Structure 1
């Protein structure tokens, strides 16, 4: 497969690797971007890829909570200008309310009533008025004894670029108090799962493969290589333990007090976190990067 300059640029931006290292990684993996990231990490030339850094869809996440039930709704727009529009914000607020009251999926909410029309029709009419494509992309419903919400980069009350929900058990007043802190932590750290048992096995398997290859390669290049038993029984398990502590909510160091984990902070407060949701605008959507100069030249007939 031909390795293009754009592919090298994308890999460099997502990993921080040098140009020649990025090109070699793509060559070694026949242009497979994920495999190239793993190749760079094996060589110690890149940190874990943060794919979210490469997405750039616009819009808002709306969050709403009542009586142990919370919802986070993502509605996308083409530009950030529309996301700042009061009409669009009103639409997000209305759809979020309907989702909280009636929905358990995007499809159900789209078919629900909103001021005498279906949510889907209201969205279609808004597209015609505002003149920009919009999509009701996803929603996340969370239930628990106490559910707390938090919005990061708020554009208006209850909506912003990142919406977080946290479900907790324990005394309601205390759960609401520390729950807000946990929600802020989640917004900042973006954990992959609540605990180790909740992680996607494929994610764990991939990380184990990377760490194993990296440890063996480092040991082979060492002037004083360690016995293979030490690598397999100590070094690799130690690195996997560190990985799990970094990507699971309960295992992460609590941003408000890094001396304790989130799980310990919850225990100290007399509560337990039973679930969470973090929804960020545009997460997982690749937005085409336009060449502004080329676009201008095109309009001039160049």
Structure 2
């Protein structure tokens, strides 16, 4: 029945447009077709060739900082700590706290956020990490949230890169039998690539069959709309071509190297490794973007904080 249909608001259309880059009327139609379900509307636009892969940026709102630290090339940690306002994110008290959280992450054995929050705060072992956070909230007078951390320990080399004063942070790990300034500089350049180009995977080996099947389904729907008269076997070839193109965008080693478009990232790493006489392979990256995936609504952020604080 018509009465059951969700009313599509201008703000919903605006949000979908920010997420997909599709036209205003296309976004309105997609929301009407999917009864206001944002995820289904994104899928609808993609299948009709009116949107690129979902842009997460449209959903980013929480402020805060990403910080990283590396110890002797072998151990690294990266953290994201959120605040409610940009003003607090630039505050020296908050930045000092994020640095302490990063040092905590560098030393931690915790496997998840709950264990991390429960362990002794290394700056004052009479408190837990959660206690230190609660204390800092009362000092700063704003909700804060230690949202995530990741620690990398390697036999090879790990480097960090922070972009935009803490908006994006990256760790890149490589297995390598040589660690020198050239190797570090190469991995730092790769980390800058990750920050700028936001790959999903290191290489094609990591891409799951489920992901490939899902993308094929979307590309098939697009190709049939664009080429209604083309036979199935031609459309199949087109899909393979488009999927390969997408792999070159989402797999780090397949990407065109930003600082030298004649090379892929894989070729650049190979070149530096050869010059350094190293057997080197990029094995992992971690990319944190402040507020990534958090809803715009403040109540969602407050709920995430409350859940972490156990309130």
TM-score above 0.5, yes or no: yes
Aligned residue number for residue 79 of structure 2: 73
Work out whether residues 3 and 23 of structure 1, in 8 Å CA contact, stay in contact via their aligned partners in 2: no
Work out whether residues 142 and 276 of structure 1, in 8 Å CA contact, stay in contact via their aligned partners in 2: no
The 2-side partners of 1:277 and 1:287 are apart by 24
1:245-284 equivalences under 5 Å are 245-270=248-273, 271-284=280-293
1:188-267 equivalences under 5 Å are 188-220=196-228, 225-232=229-236, 234-267=237-270
Mark the CA change 1:235 to 1:244 in structure 2 (over 3 Å): closer, same or farther: same
- 1:130-152 residue CA offsets vs partner (Å, 9 max, x unmatched): 11111111001122210000000
Work out whether residues 121 and 132 of structure 2, in 8 Å CA contact, stay in contact via their aligned partners in 1: no
Q: Which of 95, 100, 110 is matched with 2:106 structurally? A: 100
Secondary structure of 1:275's partner? Answer: strand
- 1:223-272 residue CA offsets vs partner (Å, 9 max, x unmatched): xx33211111x101110111111011111111111222111111111131
Secondary structure of 1:172's partner? Answer: coil
Task: State the TM-score, normalized to the length of structure 1.
Answer: 0.87
24-33 vs 135-144, greater mean Cα deviation: 24-33
Aligned residue number for residue 309 of structure 2: none
- 1:172-228 residue CA offsets vs partner (Å, 9 max, x unmatched): 1132010110010100011111112323544333221110111112111xxxx3321
Aligned length: 280
Which runs of structure 1 show a deviation greater than 6 angstroms over 4 or more consecutive aligned residues? none
The 1-side partners of 2:6 and 2:185 are apart by 55
Secondary structure of 2:254's partner? Answer: coil
Work out whether residues 201 and 250 of structure 2, in 8 Å CA contact, stay in contact via their aligned partners in 1: yes
Aligned residue number for residue 307 of structure 2: none
Q: Which of 148, 151, 165 is matched with 1:138 structurally? A: 148
- 1:7-27 residue CA offsets vs partner (Å, 9 max, x unmatched): 222212222222221121122
Aligned-residue offset at 1:103:
3.5
Alignment root-mean-square deviation, CA: 1.8
- 1:72-123 residue CA offsets vs partner (Å, 9 max, x unmatched): 0111111111111111111111111111012333333321233232221111
Work out whether residues 157 and 174 of structure 2, in 8 Å CA contact, stay in contact via their aligned partners in 1: yes
The 2-side partners of 1:54 and 1:143 are apart by 32
Task: State the TM-score, normalized to the length of structure 2.
Answer: 0.85
The 2-side partners of 1:219 and 1:141 are apart by 48
1:35-114 equivalences under 5 Å are 35-67=40-72, 68-104=74-110, 105-110=112-117, 111-114=119-122
Aligned-residue offset at 1:60:
0.8
Does residue 151 of the first structure (1) align with residue 151 of the second (2)?
no
Mark the CA change 1:113 to 1:22 in structure 2 (over 3 Å): closer, same or farther: closer
Mark the CA change 1:151 to 1:202 in structure 2 (over 3 Å): closer, same or farther: same
